[in-house]
């Protein structure tokens, strides 16, 4: 089930931006996705997310309390950031890069994530919702 979700997300990524040459090999290749990321626990759930001008896709993520979760953020257009102030997360991802962001899930709640890198006119609208339930 999870592999199917990852595969679908990977295909979406692929179709959304064929020009991106990411360092990970997750695009359509789920079998080695976990092994390619040394910092990610093998049991972690990976949520594929893209940052473009000017939105995160998906813009809503729901995680379970206590699970190991990683948001694999690909900046497919523009330089962006991913910040959750309450969780102490602030990562910058340049265009063409993919970064794995480990999400602490020990505190349930609804959090706002936002772009933390000034990226143009839509910057302040670049937000999303992270729910830990």
- Which residues form the interface with Cu ion (CB under 5 A)? 115, 117, 119, 123
Q: How far is the CB of 126 from Cu ion (least distance, A)?
A: 5
**43-46: long-range contacts (C-beta < 8 A, 24 or more apart)?**
43/68, 44/68, 44/69, 44/70, 44/102, 45/2, 45/69, 45/70, 46/6, 46/70, 46/71, 46/72, 46/100
Q: Cβ closer to Cu ion: 73 or 117?
A: 117
Q: How far is the CB of 99 from Cu ion (least distance, A)?
A: 15
Q: How far is the CB of 39 from Cu ion (least distance, A)?
A: 24
Q: Cβ closer to Cu ion: 33 or 115?
A: 115
């Amino acid at each position: 089930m999870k592999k199917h979700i990852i595969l679908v997300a990977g295909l979406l990524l692929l179709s959304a931006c064929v020009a991106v040459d990411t360092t990970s090999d997750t695009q359509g290749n789920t079998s080695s996705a976990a092994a390619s990321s040394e910092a990610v626990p093998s049991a972690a759930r990976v949520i594929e997310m893209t940052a473009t001008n000017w939105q995160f896709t998906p813009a809503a993520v729901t995680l379970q309390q206590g699970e190991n979760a990683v948001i694999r953020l690909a900046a497919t257009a523009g330089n962006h950031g991913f910040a959750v102030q309450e969780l102490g997360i602030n990562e910058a991802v340049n265009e063409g890069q993919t970064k794995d962001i480990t999400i602490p899930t020990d505190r349930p709640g609804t959090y706002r994530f936002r772009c933390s890198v000034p990226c143009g006119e839509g910057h302040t609208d670049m937000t999303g919702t992270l729910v830990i339930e």
